[in-house]
Amino acid sequence: MRIASCTVQATPVAPGIAIGRVMLMHGTAPAVKNTVITPDQVPGELEKLHNALELTRKQLQDLRETLRKRLNDSEAGIFDAHLLLVDDKTMVSEVERGITEELFDAESSVYHAIDKFVALFSTVEDVYLQERVIDIRDVGLRLAGNISDAVPMPLAYDEPRIVIASTLTPSETVGMNRDKVLGFAVETGSTTSHTAILARSLKLPAVVGMPKELLDSLTVADKLIVDGFSGKVIVNPDAGTEEAYRLKLREAEKFYQQLSGESDLQAVTTDGFTIVIAGNVDAAEDYEEARQHGAHGIGLFRTEFLFMDSSHLPDEDEQFEIYKKMMITAGNDPVTIRTMDIGGDKMSSGIIRSVEQNPFLGLRGIRLCLRERRDLFDTQLRALMRAGVHGNMQIMLPMVSCMDELLETKEIIENLKKELSARGVPFADSIPLGVMIETPAAAMTADRFAREADFFSIGSNDLIQYTIASDRGNERVAHLYRPGHPAVLRLIKFTVEEAVKQNIPVAVCGQIAEDLPMIPLLVGLGVNELSMSSSAMPLVKRLIRSLSMHECCELVTRAFQCDNYAEVVMMSREMIGRNAPELLDIQGEI
């Protein structure tokens, strides 16, 4: 029986539109077993466990290879983390203890160990660690399945479908037949969850934050429309709605096809002003795609992920190799590498030494590097300076709020140069050093910073949250988190004006660089570069090519007379509607 038609608002995490019936992903959490054994069965159960560990290792290696062929190394790396779990001594000895001391069979002991570690990780206030819960469950269930010889139920669906689930593990996501899946609608997860990362790489629309009650009531007979642009999910749409979305889907496909033919064209306004388009790229392998979409250089490489994705902290040589690979891949294109921005919502238990009440206002980014982890900062800067000889590198500092932080970093760099010279190690002597403008303090003292920094990059994700005092991750204040807020526009204006006086460039590398209504404003405010994800580049370039600097400047003047954000956005959308209506049609809601 189909449930009544309804529409829910979820959170979009991968763009696109999927229309199709539901594929149920149940069976991810089987009931925990408690099968007791006698002491003489212990050796047999231990043997079962070790055979299953071997088989699990082999399956994960195969999955990693499959993924490497389909995607690239960074996504395949998810299974490196899984392989580490298979070999994790604490995990394995916990299962062995269950068998030898508590006398449960191997399968039950695996379930008990999963429960124990999941409970442990779930209480930690670290988003990254909490997401590892999914990895533990994934590996654990695979292991338990291999012990019990359970054959997974084949997904015997005749046509491609939309996968719904409470949680999707990475191996479930990747193990799915791409031809059988149209998209995902999942209850838990975030834009940084592995499922979201994989959905984007597989170019499948996805939303998270689906209401549990709705997911529980859906059956294979129900049909969904998942709008990965707006986050809207429509259950059992009427014929008219479905037809409207099908039309939108066909148009979107045709449009993206057409845009891919324009990737060589630069982002030049109709009156001849060029805006540099750069990529937010975290792995050398991803730069190729960015370049194909027309990126000239990397505007943001978030290095903190190197310190969060590893089970250990990469040393100077390991970092050197990573940065060097990035430099060589980019050739002569500029590569802007941000020193690690640990803190705020990007916690790393191996690095942070104390729990803070208010981490977004705490020891984050450059503050942590200078106050508490000079050891890691020096190591990173040495690795960067060494890799700098292999290309066109720029170093950028996050979360700067006062001049001392920049001046102290400059002094550290000078001392490290002496140290490297004394060691006879080659290094780049004059790497441009830039400041991220992501605190109101940095923006309002841009006149001072512009005299000492080689470039500015506006980190709007943070600049907006700190200016409006609206936590960027808190849904309850999301209505206040507005990019076009007059206060934010004023700070950007002042920053650009002061940069122009000192003749240094200004980039924007936060999400607003790919937010269509913000782009005419950023162009009119005089920003030189926009750095964004690869998939957004074709749309942004098409928009810029349809605008004139003259009308963008006029828009900015009018925006400064507005009282509120909604008016600013409306004016900007009207302008886009006049110049490039096709862009609004593609992203627009139905």
d(CA 531, CA 509): 5
Active-site position among 82, 194, 390, 485:
194
405 binds, among Mg ion, ligand PEP, none (CB under 5 to 8 A by kind): none
The answer to whether 348 and 307 are in contact (CB under 8 A) is yes
d(CA 304, CA 340): 4
Task: Point out the residue whose Cβ comes nearest to ligand PEP.
Answer: 510
d(CA 492, CA 108): 58
Q: Which amino acid is at 299?
A: G
Q: Which is nearer to ligand PEP, 121 or 481 (CB)?
A: 481
Among the listed residues 11, 28, 190, 461, the single contact to ligand PEP using CB under 6 A:
461
Q: Which is nearer to Mg ion, 222 or 462 (CB)?
A: 462
Helix pair 106-122, 127-148: axis angle to 10 deg:
170
Q: Which is nearer to ligand PEP, 227 or 341 (CB)?
A: 341
Active-site position among 82, 112, 293, 509:
509
509 binds, among ligand PEP, Mg ion, none (CB under 5 to 8 A by kind): ligand PEP
Per-residue exposure over 173-196, b if at least 16 CB sit within 10 Å of its own CB, e if not: bbebeeeebbbbbbbbbbeebbbb
Of 151-159, 455-463, 489-497, 538-546, the segment contacting ligand PEP by CB under 6 A is 455-463
CB of 461 to ligand PEP, least distance (A): 3
| 298 lines the binding site for ligand PEP (CB under 6 A) | no
Helix pair 127-148, 78-86: axis angle to 10 deg:
60
CB of 461 to Mg ion, least distance (A): 5
Of 195-203, 205-213, 421-429, 460-468, the segment contacting ligand PEP by CB under 6 A is 460-468
460 binds, among ligand PEP, Mg ion, none (CB under 5 to 8 A by kind): ligand PEP
Our CA dihedral for 338, 339, 345, 347, rounded to 10 degrees, sits at 150
Q: Which is nearer to ligand PEP, 116 or 302 (CB)?
A: 302
Which 339-378 positions form the footprint of ligand PEP (CB under 6 A)?
341
Site string (507-546) toward ligand PEP, x via CB under 6 A: --xx------------------------------------
Burial of 355 per CB tally in 10 Å (0-12, 13-18, 19+): exposed
CB of 536 to ligand PEP, least distance (A): 14
Helix pair 316-330, 284-292: axis angle to 10 deg:
20
The answer to whether 174 and 63 are in contact (CB under 8 A) is yes
3-state secondary structure 155-190: CCCCCCEEEEECCCCHHHHHHCCHHHEEEEEECCCC
| 187 lines the binding site for Mg ion (CB under 5 A) | no
Alpha carbon separation from 48 to 39, 105, 130, 147 (Å, rounded): 15, 9, 30, 6
Q: Which is nearer to ligand PEP, 117 or 481 (CB)?
A: 481
Q: How many CA atoms lie within 13 A of 21 on its CB side?
A: 11
Of 180-188, 234-242, 287-295, 454-462, the segment contacting Mg ion by CB under 5 A is 454-462
What is the CA angle 474-479-482, rounded to 5?
100
Q: Which is nearer to Mg ion, 138 or 462 (CB)?
A: 462
Of 17-25, 29-37, 284-292, 454-462, the segment contacting ligand PEP by CB under 6 A is 454-462
CB of 12 to ligand PEP, least distance (A): 18
The answer to whether 328 and 288 are in contact (CB under 8 A) is no
| 302 lines the binding site for ligand PEP (CB under 6 A) | yes
Give the end-to-end CA distance of the chain in Å, rounded to a whole number: 27
CB of 457 to ligand PEP, least distance (A): 8
d(CA 374, CA 366): 10
User: Total residues at the site for Mg ion (CB under 5 A)?
Assistant: 3
User: Total residues at the site for ligand PEP (CB under 6 A)?
Assistant: 10
The phi and psi torsions of 300 (rounded to 5 degrees) equal: -155, 115
| 309 lines the binding site for ligand PEP (CB under 6 A) | no
The answer to whether 517 and 575 are in contact (CB under 8 A) is no
Among the listed residues 462, 514, 515, 551, the single contact to ligand PEP using CB under 6 A:
462
Q: Residue 102's CB: how many other CB atoms inside 10 A?
A: 13
The phi and psi torsions of 20 (rounded to 5 degrees) equal: 175, 180
Q: Which is nearer to ligand PEP, 267 or 396 (CB)?
A: 396
The answer to whether 274 and 268 are in contact (CB under 8 A) is yes
Our CA dihedral for 393, 398, 404, 409, rounded to 10 degrees, sits at -40
Q: Which is nearer to ligand PEP, 145 or 343 (CB)?
A: 343
User: What is the token pair recorded at 194?
Assistant: 């592995």
547 binds, among Mg ion, ligand PEP, none (CB under 5 to 8 A by kind): none
CB of 46 to ligand PEP, least distance (A): 46
d(CA 448, CA 170): 47
Local structure of 233: helix, strand or coil: strand
Q: Which is nearer to Mg ion, 256 or 360 (CB)?
A: 360
Local structure of 358: helix, strand or coil: coil
- H/E stretch holding 250: helix 239-260
Catalytic site residue 509?
yes
Among the listed residues 15, 459, 520, 524, the single contact to ligand PEP using CB under 6 A:
459
Which 423-442 positions form the footprint of ligand PEP (CB under 6 A)?
438
CB of 300 to ligand PEP, least distance (A): 6
CB of 575 to ligand PEP, least distance (A): 24
Q: Which is nearer to ligand PEP, 162 or 275 (CB)?
A: 275
CB of 366 to Mg ion, least distance (A): 11
The answer to whether 8 and 214 are in contact (CB under 8 A) is yes
| 459 lines the binding site for Mg ion (CB under 5 A) | yes
Q: Which is nearer to ligand PEP, 509 or 521 (CB)?
A: 509
Of 39-47, 453-461, 499-507, 567-575, the segment contacting ligand PEP by CB under 6 A is 453-461
| 462 lines the binding site for Mg ion (CB under 5 A) | yes
Among the listed residues 171, 329, 460, 528, the single contact to ligand PEP using CB under 6 A:
460
Q: Residue 563's CB: how many other CB atoms inside 10 A?
A: 8
Which residues contact Mg ion by CB under 5 A? 438, 459, 462
As annotated, the active-site residues are 194, 509
Which residues contact ligand PEP by CB under 6 A? 300, 302, 341, 438, 459-462, 509-510
